[in-house]
Chain A
Amino acid sequence: MFFDLVRRNSKRNRRENGLFFSSLLAAIVAFYIILSLPNQGVMGFLKEMESGAVDRLLSLIPAFYAVTLFMLFFLIYFASRYQLERRSHELGMYLMMGMRRSKLFFMLLAEDLWSSLLSIFVGIPVAVLLSEVISLVTARVVGIGILGQQSTFSLSAVLWTMAGFLLIKLAAFLLLSGKFASTEIGTLLSATPEGAKKQRSAMLYRIALVIGVLLLVTAYILAISGEAWYSLAVMGMTLSMGIAGTLLLFFGLRTVLDTLAKRQTGKSGLGVFTFRQLQENVIGQPISLAVSSLLILGALCFFGYGVSMTLYYGSDDTHTLDYTFQDAENPLAIPERLKNLGLDDCFESIFDMRIGHILSGDDNEGETLGMDEVLALIEQEPDSSVKSDLLGQYNNLNNPYVISLSGYNQLLAAAGEPTITLNNNQAVIYGYAAFTNREKAELINRVLSQKPEVVVNGERLQLSGTLQTRNPVTDRSITLYFALIVPDEAFDRLADKSYTHYWNAVLSHQFVQENGLMQAIQQVNQKLDTTGIHYESYLQSMGRQLFYQVSSSYLTLYLAVIFLVIANTAIGMQFLTQQRKTGRRYQTLVRLGSHYEALCLSAKHQIQWFFALPAVVAAVGSLFGVRALFSGFLSPDMAESIPGLYRIAFVILFLLCVVEYGYMLVVTRASSKYILTQMEANREE
């Protein structure tokens, strides 16, 4: 009998609060996915390449788990509180009928446990499936599918998910039942108080609104100008102003809604009722609305940042070289050693790229590279941030490099680009691609077109051609920010004799076609690993790139989803709870002759406004927030592509609209169902 009651009550709770139940499922799925991250195929793959970084990332997972637990605890706490409040009359009745408090406690605990177990039984298989799908999709997207996909199932992840979930459920339950135990039966039995909040003078709310907006605008300006990143104090101030501004804005928003409600007076329909309901909702819960708005803002920023970073790291399409070999002792023997390994068939071309520091002679007073003419020409350019940036860079060229032309031409040929022809006293400038945006390249090319001369170790060389940016080696860790590409003879004259031979290799087209790039590189790697040849493969540099892509996108998107789910569930539940609390008003409206459709329409408008208020505030904030993240984290050249990134931001805002619309639909449906129950008036004798 007791368990039958428990089962039935728990079923009713789920039915009445489907939104909350779905959020619990989402929580379980989120827990599992973050915990099973180490088992994801792409992570296993990255671990081979970048074990240090991956380990560091994976060591962060417990922290993410804890943060998620903490946030979900609040969602569950408030949702359970709403649920208990709604049932307070029923619980009072149990007590009146002589049920002991301890028994009631166990009944509620059993109901809660039953719901939790059901969520786990439904949630875990969904989570495992989803995790598997994510693993397969990422593997396919990054092209490692052929390596053999392993199952991502992790028992420890399942156990930790269950433990975490039950822990927060239990903690919320204990806290609430503590509160419940001290409530008198009379209070429980009386109808839910309307919670008539004490109203202060309208002027106070107006002032709050204005200060809120001012604080938000100041925070936006600080964030977008990049000043927020100057020091921890300014950052703290920006964040505090943003948070305080949002709180004050929602605190003062009632005045706007009051005006809107007054405007509706005398108009046909339930406009006044709609806005007064909305106003009451906003008055009742300004803090939770503001927090929801901040959570959506957080989600949008993470989303925008995550997606942009993914696209940015994924946008490198300059892959030409597959391998760079190095051997300090006997560099010239590398082609021979590769041939001995039977690898020569695998490569289309193997060529020597000689890179070395410029020899510093004794007769030029320590100046190895004189750029005076170049600097003078740059000075003539109109003022811009690119110009001052370039002047700064070219004034401080420490220990510049030279690259031999023959090697570089072979690289260009392998990439299918025209080669460079130089006479003995000419040179071409090389600049690091990631640090050279279009504007900078154009400026340099304008300067180069005037054929200025540079002094290299006392020798005058004329700069010709255009700026070259193709990376001379595979490895991204050897980064040349500036170098001069010079003919081989000049290289022999100008380079320090301890220059390095980088043997670059391009895999044969046929070999790659047969095996796929990843598999081809792995096969070659296996052979190379048996020798002592130091090599760097495209896979490794890609691994690093992938790592950034995966870690930034995975974690930011994870947080974004969690934040969105929490915020929207909180908003939706808050609305539905208030609707139930004020159910009698709907009955009165029915008695005054309101149609079902008119009531549903009013509720729909309330829902739209109620969701839109925090979402719109967050959306406006996110435009500045994502921009602030960019100005804080991005390299200067990437900041140049901000218009492109803004396009992404708009796509994300569109996605937000889709998510919000989905939630609105669910809540509207629940609301219409509830209104229908209010159409049948109760017998009141």
Chain B
Amino acid sequence: MKQAILEIESLRKYYGRQENQTKALDGISFKVLPGEFLGIMGASGSGKSTLLNCIATVIRPTEGHILMGGVEVGALKGSKLADYRGKEIGYLFQNFELLDNLTGQENILLPLGIHGVTEKEGNKHLRELTEYFEITDVMNKFPSQMSGGQKQRVATARALILNPQIILADEPTGALDSKNARILMEKLAGLNRMQQSTILMVTHDSNAASFCSRILFIQDGVIFHELRRKVPNETQQLFYERILAVMAQLGGGSANVL
């Protein structure tokens, strides 16, 4: 069995104290293997974004371990933490988070500047990414001059420019229309398929989730169900229908699960 890129062990995140305590995550454990396209689904407030934020070190878990390539993420500090954020993970935001006063190219190259990587090394990769994501003609445009889909693809290129070990995507299609959402998911799935990129995506969009190879369903801070796409026989359509069935059961208690 392959060595996991990301290991989550008994992760807990509690807000508040005693009676008022909210258990956003209540002992979640799972592994992400290299080349996997893992989806995390759940209703609003189920804890999926908290999970992603914990992995991205945006918030600190109350208990448990997050190991990236065998290294305890919680123990990282200072420049190592900054390097982890910039180089180990590539983060895709729901609302793109492009700096709207920087051009497309400047946005994509921003992580290079932050992490002191020279332009020369980045240029070849930049060309590949812009061609792959079909954003060559918006390189000199500001975000306000781009469509939503272009913005998210620029943001994806930015997340990939430093070749991160894993891409964390937080509802990447949340702010996109269905056409642009599909284009983005195809591009992400293509990356996963051709370059064995590892992707961890939080979504509540069943359509987007159907591009994943495995899906974890979270409810009330615990993993409630897991779906695996049966390759190569299961079509995306069939997988989508299975996802919908689970989603329909969500909130209805474990007794109703398929």
Enumerate chain A interface residues (CB-CB to B < 8 A): 194, 196, 261, 264-273, 276-277, 279-280, 582, 584-585, 587-595, 598, 681, 683-685
Contacts and interface: CB of A to CB of B under 8 A. Distances in A.
B100 A194 contact: yes
Interface string B92-125: 0100010111100110011111111111001100
B86 A592 contact: yes
Given A265-B106, A266-B112, A594-B114, 5 more contacts: A268-B112, A270-B110, A273-B113, A598-B114, A683-B50
Of listed B24, B82, B87, residue having the most chain A CB within 10 A: B82
Contact of A593 (B97, B102, B105, B111): B111
B16 to A, nearest CB: 12
B102 A684 contact: no
Interface of B: 24, 44-45, 49-50, 53, 56, 58-59, 78-79, 82-87, 91, 93, 97, 99-102, 105-106, 109-119, 122-123, 144, 158
A267 B116 CA distance: 8
Nearest to A596: B82
Given A196-B144, A265-B105, A683-B59, A272 B113 contact: yes
Contact of B97 (A264, A582, A588): A588
Contact of B45 (A196, A585, A588, A685): A685
Nearest to B87: A593
Contact of B85 (A194, A279, A585, A591): A591
A650 B53 CA distance: 55
A45 B116 CA distance: 67
A358 to B, nearest CB: 80
B79 A595 contact: yes
Given A276-B101, A276-B102, A681 B83 contact: no
Nearest to A269: B113
Contacts of B116: 268-269
Contacts of B99: 273, 276, 585, 588-589
Of listed B110, B114, B118, residue having the most chain A CB within 10 A: B114
Majority secondary structure, B binding face: helix
Nearest to A283: B101
5 A-B pairs closest in CB distance: A593-B86, A266-B119, A593-B85, A276-B101, A588-B97
Contacts of A268: 112-113, 116-118
Contacts of A277: 101
Contacts of B110: 270, 272-273, 589, 592
A580 to B, nearest CB: 15
A277 B102 CA distance: 9
A13 B125 CA distance: 47
B97 A584 contact: yes
Contacts of B102: 272-273, 276
A385 to B, nearest CB: 55
Nearest to A268: B116
A191 to B, nearest CB: 11
Of listed A264, A272, A277, A593, residue having the most chain B CB within 10 A: A593
A265 B111 CA distance: 11
A271 B114 CA distance: 9
Contacts of A595: 78-79, 82
Contacts of A261: 106
Nearest to B106: A272
Given A265-B119, A277-B101, A279-B101, A593 B112 contact: no
B230 to A, nearest CB: 33
A6 B24 CA distance: 36
Contacts of B113: 264, 266-273
Given A277-B101, A588-B97, A266 B82 contact: no
Nearest to B81: A593
Nearest to A280: B101
29 contacts: A194-B100, A196-B100, A261-B106, A264-B113, A265-B105, A266-B113, A266-B118, A266-B123, A268-B113, A268-B116, A269-B113, A270-B110, A271-B113, A272-B106, A273-B110, A280-B101, A588-B99, A591-B56, A591-B91, A592-B86, A592-B110, A593-B82, A593-B86, A595-B78, A595-B79, A681-B53, A683-B53, A684-B53, A685-B44
Contact of A681 (B59, B79, B117, B118): B59
A271 B106 CA distance: 10
A401 B56 CA distance: 95
B111 A684 contact: no
B76 to A, nearest CB: 11
B59 A593 contact: no
Nearest to B119: A266
B46 to A, nearest CB: 10
A85 B177 CA distance: 32
B43 to A, nearest CB: 12
Contacts of B83: 593
Of listed B45, B79, B102, residue having the most chain A CB within 10 A: B102
Contacts of B91: 591-592
B82 A685 contact: no
Contacts of B59: 681, 683
B104 to A, nearest CB: 12
Contacts of B97: 584, 587-588, 591
Of listed A272, A584, A592, A595, residue having the most chain B CB within 10 A: A592
B114 A592 contact: yes
B25 to A, nearest CB: 12
Contacts of A264: 113
Contacts of B82: 593-595
A592 B122 contact: no
A587 to B, nearest CB: 8
Nearest to B116: A268
Nearest to B98: A588
A681 B58 CA distance: 6
A282 to B, nearest CB: 11
A273 B100 CA distance: 10
Contacts of A276: 99, 101-102, 106
A593 B84 CA distance: 7
A592 B106 contact: no
A423 B117 CA distance: 92
Contacts of A585: 99-101
A272 B86 CA distance: 17
Nearest to A598: B114
A270 B91 CA distance: 19
B116 to A, nearest CB: 5
B257 to A, nearest CB: 25
A621 B51 CA distance: 58
A591 B98 CA distance: 12
Contacts of B115: 593
